[in-house]
Chain A
Amino acid sequence: MKAEAAGPLADGAMISVRDLRKTFVTPAAKVAALAGVDLDIRKGDIFGIVGFSGSGKSTLLRCINLLERPDSGTVRMEGKETTTLDRRQLGALRQKVGMIFQHFHLFDARTVADNIAYPLEIAKVGRKRIAARVEELASLVGIADKLKAYPGQLSGGQKQRVAIARALANDPIVLLSDEATSALDPETTWSILQLLKDINVNTGLTIAFVTHELDVVRVLCNRVAVLEAGRVMEKGEVGQVFHNPRSLAGKRLVEISRGFREGSLYTDGGGI
């Protein structure tokens, strides 16, 4: 099989990506969003995927649940190849992979309770069990008093809490987060990070967290990969990558983050 030839499966890997490639063809140019990515996310990891804009980090995440079709390469989830699944199998897999977004993408036509219930409806869970599960999730994410509200009545932080509850409804094996805190203010970001961390500690949920905010990775993640130009420049434990970045991309990211904190910023010998 193709998957076997691509490389050995790391021990305990929840998500295993091998030589993933994706090129976007636009009228102006061909853009290689992913140029051969290898990555292993272990069970229970909160795995940060960082990089500047256009580094391919979102594309990588979207290839994991195949919202984006990779041109070549393999993605395995719990050892099972996903890129060869047919439409129905893919639907079944996606029911077990939660996803949250920068702009939440709640359904405006549904109340908070019905938003959280949606994945369960799709999975044909009975009405009574849905009601119980919705209550449970709402209190887990701290929006139990908003169940009858519509998304249009909520603040950004509350919306993201609903989105997290919705993503967790079906007991996913993985949570994919695409810039989930990037549209939130620092305080709200902090509370969402605490929530995700608690969930990870209490349930062992594996989280893949795409962001351009380095501080978020520092607080939340245990492991991290730095992406640039569609390649993984560096990956490892968060502490190691932050204190001693080996790649140029890693160094630039860390320097910029430090520079902001110290109130001055120098890149390539010039000051901003």
Chain B
Amino acid sequence: MNQLVDMLLTGLEDTLYMTFLSAAIGLAIGLPLGAILTITSKGHALESPRLNRTLGAVVNMGRSFPSLILIILLLPLSRLIVGTTLGPTAALVPLSVEMAPFIGRITENAFKEVEKGKIEAALAMGTGPWAMVCKILVPEALPSLVRGVTLILISTLGLTAIAGCIGAGGLGSLAIRYGYQRFRTDIMFATVSLLILLVTAIQLTGNRVARRIGRRRHVYE
């Protein structure tokens, strides 16, 4: 029994590590991507149809790979950066690369929700591209961005289970190796319960933070 708990705790720890760190790295790539996609669009602070189209195509390409295939394709990159293709740290590389284009689109969507009039007002005051992102888009879209991050964390969590199939470790890996391949229904049940709890916790926290930001600004949806 103790061994089982230990195993689950290690799995949980690995899953949390992979989820939060790869989501963070993915955000570091995806947020700027979404920002550039937004401000290069028509009538924005850095209008550039060519850059916008090119970047859009790259994002679409990145998103069209089935997750498992992309993770496998990126294993050599893990070996290059981390030195191994096994374990949670090695999984960070493919996970964040996989998440980045998705995060880019989510960010872009959040930014495009900012009322067009506000963007125009900002432009009319002489706002440049940098200030547009940092002083207008991010603060104005913050509640949507928080909801986006919630979505991103939960998607990343799901992706760690897929990475678990090919040696990343974590709860997903436990569910497959013990729950599925060795018919340990108890372990399957335990891991799935833990995942449900995680998803619920992330979602509730995200909703709460977004609502709180809105309330502070006296903007109610």
Give residues in A with beta carbon < 8 Å to B. 65, 67, 87-88, 90-95, 97, 99, 101, 103, 105-110, 118-119, 121-123, 150-153, 166, 170, 176
Give 26 CB contacts A-B under 8 Å: A91-B126, A91-B127, A91-B128, A94-B125, A97-B124, A99-B124, A101-B120, A105-B115, A105-B120, A105-B121, A106-B118, A107-B122, A107-B136, A107-B140, A110-B139, A118-B125, A119-B125, A122-B125, A122-B131, A150-B217, A150-B218, A150-B219, A151-B218, A152-B217, A152-B220, A176-B124
Given A91-B127, A92-B126, A95-B126, A67:B120 Cβ within 8 A = yes
| Complex contacts, A94 vs chain B, CB 8 Å | 123-126
Q: How many A-B residue pairs have CB under 8 A?
A: 73
Chain B at the A interface: SS class: helix
Contact with A along B187-211 (1 / 0, CB 8 A): 0000000000000000000000000
Closest to A90 in B: B126
Report chain A residues within 8 Å CB of B120. Answer: 67, 101, 105
Q: Is the CB of A67 within 8 A of B219?
A: no
B33 nearest CB across to chain A (Å): 22
A95 touches B125 (CB 8 A): yes
B126:A105 contact, CB within 8 angstroms: no
Inter-chain CA distance A177–B123, complex, in Å, is: 15
Contact yes or no, A99 B121, CB < 8 A: yes
Residues of B within 8 A of A65 (CB): 124
Q: Give the size category of B's interface with A.
A: 20 to 34
B117: interface (CB < 8 Å):
yes
- Do A101 and B121 touch across chains, with their CB atoms under 8 A apart? yes
* B127, closest chain A residue (CB): A122
Minimum CB–CB distance from A154 to chain B (whole Å) comes to: 9
Using CB atoms, name the residue of chain A closest to B123: A67
Q: Is the CB of A108 within 8 A of B219?
A: yes
